[in-house]
Amino acid sequence: MKAPKSLVVWTMGLVSYLDALNLQEKLVHLRKSGIISDTLLSLQHPPTYTLGRRRTVHNLLISEDELQSLGAELHYTQRGGDITFHGPGQAVVYPIISLKQMGLGARKYVENLELAMVELASLYGVPARAGGDGGTGVWVDDRKIGAIGVRISSGFTSHGLAFNIDPDMKFFEHIVPCGIANKEVTSLRRETRMDLPADEVIHQQLISCFVKLFGYSGVTLHQGSPSLDNEDVLK
């Protein structure tokens, strides 16, 4: 089955995790109803820890009071994967797409997300690789540079990926990232000898990698947050 022709991309800047979560839920409903086409949200979050549906809270190494003193939030979600951190200096992408129309299964979808991050890293001379069995995400040797946690409901996706451009790495010291002990977390800043452009440029490069891998031929770009009161703008 051929991929849909069009993708609507919203570059949203810094967005609270709950606002992004509520927006995704509404967009998934609209996508399931056929009101909108495939949609991608590109954004960053304030410091936020999230847990997947397995609720592996033991991988949070500090109390919630200590977490709040760091200026971070904690949220429980219905995505797959373990605990992770989101913050400024990350490229976060949430695709709201129909896997059925794409002709993709869940595994291939995740592999494509991984490959988008691998391709992005390669633009900066970083030899990243997909994790494979037991190591979902993207790695540079044994250091994780990109995390994936997705939700698939009736063949429609939400949540997505987080690629570390240059976040405050101290936040990762308070968790067992993705539940994998004795593995480091890294960033593009740490791994490349190249000067990095503004985060917005790297976000756009990640979007381009996503568009290429998923075979979209038409892309509509918007800045800011989508208005759910105007369905024509969402299409």
Q: Mark whether 209 is an active-site residue.
A: no
Look over the chain and give the mean of its residue pLDDT values, rounded to a whole number.
89
CA angle 110, 113, 116 (to 5 degrees): 150
Residue that is written with structure tokens 């069009």 in the block: 6
Residue 141's contacts (CB-CB under 8 Å, 6 or more residues apart) are none
> Residue 182 above 80 pLDDT?
no
Catalytic residue (one of 30, 128, 178, 206):
178
pLDDT at residue 50, rounded to an integer: 87
The answer to whether 3 is annotated as binding is: no
Residue 132 marked as a ligand binder: no
Ligand-binding annotation for 156, yes or no, is no
Element at 210 (helix H, strand E): helix 199-214
Of 12 and 134, more confident? 12
Percent helix, percent strand, percent coil in the chain, to nearest 5: 35, 30, 35
Residue 161 annotated as part of some ligand binding site: yes
Instruction: Taking residues 198-211, report their average pLDDT.
Output: 97
Q: Is 166 annotated as a binding residue?
A: no
How would residue 177 be classed by pLDDT, with cut points 50, 70 and 90?
A: low
Adjacent-strand bridge partners of 8 = 39, 220
Q: What is the pLDDT of residue 67?
A: 83
**Do the beta carbons of residue 164 and residue 186 sit within 8 Å?**
yes
Q: What is the CA 75 to chain-centroid distance, rounded?
A: 15
* 82-83-89-93 Cα dihedral, nearest 10 degrees: 40
| Mean of pLDDT values over 46-71 | 81
pTM to 2 decimals?
Answer: 0.92
pLDDT digits (tens, 9 = 90+) for 60-116: 888 888 888 888 888 887 786 778 899 999 999 999 999 999 999 999 999 999 999
For the chain, which domains are there?
A: 6-224 (3.30.930.10)
Which one-letter amino acid corresponds to residue 163?
F
Count the Cβ atoms, other than its own, within 10 Å of residue 212: 12
In order of 17, 21, 25, 146, 184, the CA distances from 30 in angstroms are 20, 14, 9, 28, 39
Q: Is 12 helix (H, G, I), strand (E, B) or coil?
A: strand
